[in-house]
Amino acid sequence: MTSKEKKQLAIAACKIRMGALEGVHAAKAGHPGGSLSAADMFAYLYFKELNIDPANPHMEDRDRFVLSKGHTAPGLYAALALRGFFPWEDLKTLRQIGSHLQGHPNMAMTPGVDMSTGSLGQGISAAAGMALAAKVKGLPIRVYTLLGDGEIEEGEVWEATMFAHHHKLDDLCVIVDNNGLQIDGPIDQVMSPYPIPEKFKAFGLHVIEIDGHDFDQIEAAFNEARETKGVPTAIVMKTVKGKGVSFMENQASWHGKAPNDEEFKKAMDELNARLTELEGEKDE
Amino acid sequence: MSDVKKTATRESYGNALKELGALHPDVIVFDADLSASTKTGVFRAAYPERHFNCGIAEGNMMAVAAGAAAMGLVPYASSFAMFASGRAFEQVRNSIGYTQLNVKIGATHGGISVGEDGASHQCCEDFALMRSIPGMVVMSPADDAEAKAMVFAAYDHPGPVYMRFGRAPVPAVHGDDYKFTIGKGETLAEGTDVAIIANGLCVAEALGARDILAQEGISARVINMGTIKPLDEELVLKAARECKKIVTCEEHSVIGGLGEAVCAVVAEAGLSCPVKRVGVQDVFGHSGPFTALLEEFGLTAPHIAEACR
């Protein structure tokens, strides 16, 4: 990846973080922590990995993305808006009456959303169903799904993983956002799903471990996943919950809480400073 | 009725799936390790490349089916009624109902006629659960012809459908020329003293009750209400206006099924026609031959006749 490309992705990720916070702040509710931890992944997916067309959101041979951890919709919505699926201003209508931006993703209302999610564990099953259907139809597409690390406490995740392996869904790429925190606290104190890579390996998946804030590693992982035949791939990415906003980082309390006006200003100041810094960087 | 052909509607389901699969290449079938019992194995024998076993994981199966429907296929997802509507309720509600995706649920072994397996497998709550999901069509056929017609009608209906089939053989009440429309009930016999509104295996029993009542000079109308939702309200109101009372009859709890649906329509129309509900009385079943269970739980012709008097 060129440094110019990397800079563009970092700028997109920074804007996605700002968009997610704008939405949650305006709604006075929502889930900033996991939106921020996945922002770099959202940026990479929507600006590099996925074969999609914002002008034609229902294009049959598009890649599919299912946000299994549906509560981090604010991050997804910001990515979709930035990519041109709908106006950026819509983000401020999050969770309001009349808005197409529901508290959790709704495929019938929001352009670019491939599956309605929110009840944890179901998105990965739907993604597996999509990958299976693509094989039946002979559609050469890839299906991606992003799960939370708390979410994999749901038994259905493992039913779906078993299913995906059994039916050799090698066009399915499962991504786990391992930010280490869920609502009630650190995941290893609430109900430890560790060791995560070993579990997916035991279910027969090809497992890749990466730093979810490093675009080179994300790119290498997706390339490796695409080359992997016969079994689905699981990318387990270490991330920082609340990444990019100093006072939100690694705080379980920011899982599902909106910033007040003062906190919002502070967060946006930090992200604006980062954006200015990124935009000032010279391309090599 | 010994000379009347009897067929379990789960058999009809498997046979109809095979016929449907021949006509429509977008039909795919999911099962959860019960394909010999649900009879989706009949489809698999003809179209192995379009039949997918999900193993014993019904919740995953429903959301997988939703994903396949989102890709434009028409999945029929099958298990026993208990697990399709009960175990997988939340997946059906959120991934199929909320999305209004084009998934058809083929639930076999509904009601207490499951028999020897006992109460753990005798689902008498599925109509209630599935009716409560917005946009879900809920159907229960009376016989072979209606079961097959429902499988085809479900394909032509865009959106989620729940079909409940039975394990026990039931006599034919329709000819082969039977035409079924989702949301339309059917008057099988005219009468004015009482209207019996039934579905599933209770339809044949209702016709038996009509014969018993006729000997006593009581004229009973028999309505087959194959679709529980959307309910044929017009036909219910017509019965409420023209008959002195209504008796509903279903192999389901009296809570939340056809009986309550009929009560609501009659009451909200402000009609004074009394409604009695024949069904399973807020109790669990137990093991035994299905004929004995139907007798014990009051779902046979003499019990229905008694409710009509």
Domain borders along chain A are 3-280
Contact residues on chain A for B60, CB-CB shorter than 8 A: 125, 128, 156, 159-160, 163
pLDDT at B3: 73
- Summarize pLDDT for B149-173 with one digit per residue, the tens: 999 999 999 999 999 999 999 999 9
Whether B1 has a pLDDT exceeding 70, the answer reads no
CB contact under 8 A, B64 and A107: no
Whether B56 has a pLDDT exceeding 70, the answer reads yes
Order of all β-strands in the sheet with B161-164: B51-53, B27-31, B74-80, B104-108, B161-164, B137-139, B227-229
SS3 B284: coil
Q: Which residue has the tokens 């050799």?
A: A168
A-interface mutation test, from B58, B64, B101, most A Cβ less than 10 A away: B64
Instruction: Report, as an integer, the average pLDDT of A141-148.
Output: 98
Chain A within 8 Å of B158 (Cβ-Cβ)? no
Instruction: Decide the pairing of beta strands B275-280 and B51-53.
Output: unpaired
Give B83→chain A minimum CA distance, Å. 14
Q: In whole angstroms, how large is the CA radius of gyration of chain B? A: 18
- Summarize pLDDT for B227-285 with one digit per residue, the tens: 999 999 999 999 999 999 999 999 999 999 999 999 999 999 999 999 999 999 999 99
ipTM field: 0.97
Chain A within 8 Å of B33 (Cβ-Cβ)? no
Chain B within 8 Å of A156 (Cβ-Cβ)? yes
**Is the domain covering B186-308 a CATH 3.40.50.920 domain?**
yes
Give B24→chain A minimum CA distance, Å. 13
pTM of the model: 0.97
Which segments of chain B belong to CATH 3.40.50.970?
6-171
Q: Each residue of B59-68: b (16+ CB within 10 Å) or e?
A: bbbbbbbbbb
The helix (run of H) or strand (run of E) holding residue A199 is: helix A196-202
Name which of A108, A114, A126 is nearest B95 (Cβ-Cβ).
A126
pLDDT at B250: 98
pLDDT at B223: 98
A-interface mutation test, from B26, B30, B60, most A Cβ less than 10 A away: B60
pLDDT at A31: 95
**Looking at the domain that runs over A3-280, which CATH code has it been given?**
3.40.50.970
CB contact under 8 A, A60 and B72: yes
Q: What is the dihedral of CA B242, B244, B250, B256, to 10 degrees?
A: 90
**Looking at the domain that runs over B6-171, which CATH code has it been given?**
3.40.50.970
The percent of residues above 90 in pLDDT, for chain A, comes to 99
CB contact under 8 A, A130 and B68: yes
Confidence tier at B121 by pLDDT (50, 70, 90): very high
Chain B within 8 Å of A133 (Cβ-Cβ)? yes
Contact residues on chain B for A127, CB-CB shorter than 8 A: 67
Q: Chain B: residue nearest A61 by CA?
A: B71
Whether A192 has a pLDDT exceeding 90, the answer reads yes
SS3 B56: coil
B-interface mutation test, from A58, A136, A144, A165, most B Cβ less than 10 A away: A136
Give B145→chain A minimum CA distance, Å. 31
Whether A47 has a pLDDT exceeding 60, the answer reads yes
**Set B11, B19, B49, B58: catalytic member:** B58
B242 touches B256 (CB < 8 A)? no
Confidence tier at A284 by pLDDT (50, 70, 90): low
Alpha carbon A258 to chain centroid distance? Answer: 19
Whether B200 has a pLDDT exceeding 90, the answer reads yes
pLDDT at B118: 96
Chain A within 8 Å of B64 (Cβ-Cβ)? yes
Whether B45 has a pLDDT exceeding 90, the answer reads yes
B-interface mutation test, from A71, A130, A145, A157, most B Cβ less than 10 A away: A130
pLDDT at B4: 86
Can you give the length of chain A in residues? 284
Instruction: Decide the pairing of beta strands A64-67 and B104-108.
Output: unpaired
Whether B131 has a pLDDT exceeding 90, the answer reads yes
Give B70→chain A minimum CA distance, Å. 7
Instruction: Report, as an integer, the average pLDDT of A124-140.
Output: 98
Q: Number of residue pairs across A and B with CB atoms under 8 Å? A: 109
Q: How far apart are CA B41 and CA B19, in angstroms?
A: 13
Instruction: Report, as an integer, the average pLDDT of A97-124.
Output: 98
Residue A181 burial by Cβ neighbours in a 10 Å radius (0-12, 13-18, 19+):
buried
B78 touches B34 (CB < 8 A)? yes
Whether B2 has a pLDDT exceeding 70, the answer reads no
Instruction: Report, as an integer, the average pLDDT of B183-210.
Output: 98
Residue A188 burial by Cβ neighbours in a 10 Å radius (0-12, 13-18, 19+):
exposed
Name which of B71, B90, B99 is nearest A108 (Cβ-Cβ).
B99
Q: How far apart are CA B127 and CA B251, in angstroms?
A: 10
A152 touches A203 (CB < 8 A)? no
The percent of residues above 90 in pLDDT, for chain B, comes to 98
CB contact under 8 A, B59 and A125: yes
Q: How far apart are CA B299 and CA B283, in angstroms?
A: 14
Chain A within 8 Å of B37 (Cβ-Cβ)? no
Chain B within 8 Å of A115 (Cβ-Cβ)? yes
What are the percentages of helix, strand and coil residues in chain A, rounded to 5?
A: 50, 10, 40
Q: How far apart are CA A89 and CA A72, in angstroms?
A: 18
Give B297→chain A minimum CA distance, Å. 36
Longest dimension (CA), chain A: 53
Q: Is B58 a catalytic residue?
A: yes
pLDDT at A226: 98
Neighbours of B216 (CB within 10 A): 10
pLDDT at B254: 98
- Summarize pLDDT for B64-99 with one digit per residue, the tens: 999 999 999 999 999 999 999 999 999 999 999 999
Confidence tier at B176 by pLDDT (50, 70, 90): confident
SS (H, E, C) B130-148: HHCCCCCEEECCCCHHHHH
CB contact under 8 A, A136 and B55: no
SS3 A225: helix
Alpha carbon A6 to chain centroid distance? Answer: 18
